[in-house]
Structure 1
Amino acid sequence: MKPLSIKDIAKKANVSITTVSFILNGKAEKMRISQDMIAKVEAIIKEVGFRPNQVARSLRTGNTNTIGLIVEDISNPFFAAIARLIEDKAYKHGYKIIYSSTENNLEKAKGLIKMFKSRQVDGYIIAPMVGMEEDIRDLLSDRTPVVVFDRHLPGLDVSSVLVDNVEGTYMATDSLISKGMKNIAFVTVDIDVEQIKDRYKGYEKALKVNKLKIDPKLCKLISFNNTAEETTTELTRFFSDNPQIDAVLFATNYLAVRGLFSFREMNKQLNATFKVIAYDDHDIFKLHSPTISAVDQPIEEIAENVISLILKELSMAHSFEEKELNNIVLSSRLIER
């Protein structure tokens, strides 16, 4: 039996082939096709089990209606939440998301860009790492739509969606100081990215403003390549060696989670004389007793802005107009629990 075509769907719905094409490509609302008509055509598509020939469409339009999403670690709750929102929002506009993790490995990151190129994705959303500059410049020179988020690489003329990390850790540190904490530790990770450096800057700034000494012994650097157990062991040793610590600001949520394991091993209580704040919220922080305060990044806003920018760039991909760069910086909020 010959497979159904767009022409068959159009005939069954009593509409033009163009109308069906717009609905299939996620352009119905843009072309002002009524919701009733969209629902009618979609119901017929579902009823007959129609599957558009993606290869034929790609050859005809030069588009695959896919976007490559490259992040540091898709299992990290922050990136997982953003990926899910981006996927939902992209789907509503007729795009699918293919995503993968760099695991902070430059060779893997470069390989992912090559892989996405071979799959002919229409655009890229990247949480970049140092060393990817040339690969991203190559994409931009080919007029391939690219939006970076979460972190930015200096010297790259690319649209970005960032969060003010300095402001976030400044708020957190200042809050701890206002509660009488004087020996505040900062636990961070050894990856060379701007947002991690900025989180330290916010911590440092708050100490200086409040005229507290910056003690290098209270700043703990954890290897990104550590196993969870290795991180817990290192933190237990760090807190045992520095009993004067009365508060801790963790630069990432996964470090804070390992910190909670460490405190349990040490039988160390979180109370009025020992406080913790994590950068990036996590469900565990709401369930833990006592609950854990967190610097909360605006995940919904990040995803919304990322999709808006990449769709704008995709719409101009074949235009000779000068591309307008958009650099959006969002604010985080401190959730005090």
Structure 2
Amino acid sequence: MVGVSPALVSMVLNGKAEQYRIGEEVARRVEETAKEMHYVPNVYAKTLRSGKTQLVGLIVTDISNPFYSAIARIVEDRASELNYTVLISSTDENLKNTERLVDVLLNKGVEGLILVPCDGSIKLIQRLYDSHFPTVLLDRYFPDIDLSSSCLDNYRATELATEHLLGQGYKNIALIAYNTEMHHILDRISGYEDTMKNAGLSAYVHVRKVNILNPRPGIREALEELIHRKHVDAIMFLTNMLATNGLYCLNEMNVKIPEDVAVVGFNGNDAFNLFYSPITYIRQPIEQIAKGSIDILIKRIKKSNYKSKLFLEPELVIQQSSQRIS
């Protein structure tokens, strides 16, 4: 319709007019005609030619968790800046779901994966590593598998929080965690335990583990024991969801914070700030973790031997819930 060859039209519509020295007037006519005809590029054909889909997968445990929804938003925005689209899925901490979603995304043609692994997924992660498929672990990692990752320095996080509580004069400090073998949780437990032992308080180390899928009953049971029988004066919750459920239980038990017990949570949320005694919490550098994961992945896609492991510094946000009442 514009009196030029199909090859020339293709060059213009693929943004290569200047590269092939096509005149501005010809390029303008081609673009105007394409617009009038509501031309839509055949992305599938382009993908077959290039072998590139510009798709990456992001698999988290639960997109409704404020931490992961914030991560997903940042990853999406950063990927868009890099001309990639993100396909997002949730596993509900279920291994079969994780395996299925990995297969689905691979069949969709994603060029790489950002993955929050669930408990028991080490064989899946090992397979991804052995296949050399571009993969970045987010928030959680396996020390024995040499995959790229973007995570918090989890040991330092609880070390920092425990040091703060000790500095406030608390000694009988308990910790509530998930019952899991995931290393990010084990590192958080170790940071707390080592700091207590280094302070000569091994006798006051109390670790209670609860079910990851239905934590509230276990939290309530643990709190009843820790407060009424162990007489702890401070409690640390190792995740945002544990802290939110823990505050609910403490409220039900009419436990005053920090008068009866000090509290430290993980990952701030609105509930922490709106609570009658604003909650001290360990802040993860969410933007750095999220951007780090997608930046590492894209570099790995473009360069097969690229590898990077980020362990980012936590920050303790001190509020009323951990302040000693004199």
Do Structure 1 and Structure 2 share a fold, with TM-score over 0.5? Answer: yes
SS in 2 for 1:186: strand
Distance in structure 2 (CA, Å) of the matches to 1:234 and 1:195: 24
- Name the residue aligned to 2:176: 187
Does residue 66 in structure 1 map to residue 55 in structure 2? yes
Give the direction of change, closer, same or farther, for the CA distance of 1:328–1:220 in structure 2 (3 Å limit): same
- The aligned runs of 1:165-314 (5 Å cut-off) are 165-215=154-204, 218-226=206-214, 228=216, 230-231=217-218, 233-239=220-226, 241-242=228-229, 244-272=231-259, 274-314=261-301
Structure 1 residue 143 displacement after superposition: 3.5
Structure 1 residue 215 displacement after superposition: 3.9
| Unaligned residue ranges in structure 1 (runs of 5+) | 23-41, 318-322
- The aligned runs of 1:91-102 (5 Å cut-off) are 91-102=80-91
- The aligned runs of 1:13-32 (5 Å cut-off) are 16-19=12-15
Distance in structure 2 (CA, Å) of the matches to 1:235 and 1:215: 15
Distance in structure 1 (CA, Å) of the matches to 2:35 and 2:89: 30
Distance in structure 2 (CA, Å) of the matches to 1:278 and 1:187: 10
SS in 1 for 2:209: strand
Distance in structure 1 (CA, Å) of the matches to 2:8 and 2:253: 66
Structure 1 residue 271 displacement after superposition: 2.5
Distance in structure 2 (CA, Å) of the matches to 1:285 and 1:47: 54
**Cα RMSD over matched residues?**
3.0
8 Å CA contact retained: 2:129, 2:145: no
Distance in structure 2 (CA, Å) of the matches to 1:46 and 1:168: 55
Deviates more, 1:82-91 or 1:140-149: 140-149
- Name the residue aligned to 2:323: none
Distance in structure 2 (CA, Å) of the matches to 1:188 and 1:133: 20
Give the direction of change, closer, same or farther, for the CA distance of 1:48–1:150 in structure 2 (3 Å limit): farther
Structure 1 residue 272 displacement after superposition: 4.7
8 Å CA contact retained: 1:236, 1:266: no
Distance in structure 1 (CA, Å) of the matches to 2:165 and 2:218: 24
Distance in structure 1 (CA, Å) of the matches to 2:138 and 2:306: 17
- Name the residue aligned to 2:302: 315
- Name the residue aligned to 1:88: 77
Distance in structure 1 (CA, Å) of the matches to 2:36 and 2:194: 61
Question: Aligned letter for 2:183?
Answer: E
Of the three residues 126, 138, 141, the one matched with 2:115 is 126
Structure 1 residue 8 displacement after superposition: 12
8 Å CA contact retained: 1:129, 1:153: no
8 Å CA contact retained: 2:220, 2:246: no
Distance in structure 2 (CA, Å) of the matches to 1:113 and 1:249: 34
Give the direction of change, closer, same or farther, for the CA distance of 1:109–1:336 in structure 2 (3 Å limit): same
Distance in structure 1 (CA, Å) of the matches to 2:313 and 2:71: 16
- Name the residue aligned to 1:157: 146
Q: Deviations over 1:273-296 (max 9, x none)?
A: 521101222221111111000000
8 Å CA contact retained: 1:186, 1:250: yes
Q: Deviations over 1:64-120 (max 9, x none)?
A: 211111122222211111111001110111111112122222111111111111111
Give the direction of change, closer, same or farther, for the CA distance of 1:137–1:267 in structure 2 (3 Å limit): closer
TM-score by length of 1: 0.81
Structure 1 residue 140 displacement after superposition: 3.8
- Name the residue aligned to 2:324: none
Larger radius of gyration: 2
TM-score by length of 2: 0.83
Give the direction of change, closer, same or farther, for the CA distance of 1:55–1:234 in structure 2 (3 Å limit): farther
SS in 2 for 1:237: helix
- Name the residue aligned to 2:308: 326
Question: Aligned letter for 1:283?
Answer: D
Give the direction of change, closer, same or farther, for the CA distance of 1:45–1:258 in structure 2 (3 Å limit): farther
8 Å CA contact retained: 2:174, 2:226: no
Question: Aligned letter for 2:92?
Answer: E
Number of equivalenced pairs: 303
SS in 2 for 1:19: coil
- Name the residue aligned to 1:27: none
Structure 1 residue 231 displacement after superposition: 4.6
Deviates more, 1:115-124 or 1:128-137: 128-137
SS in 2 for 1:290: coil
Distance in structure 1 (CA, Å) of the matches to 2:103 and 2:183: 25
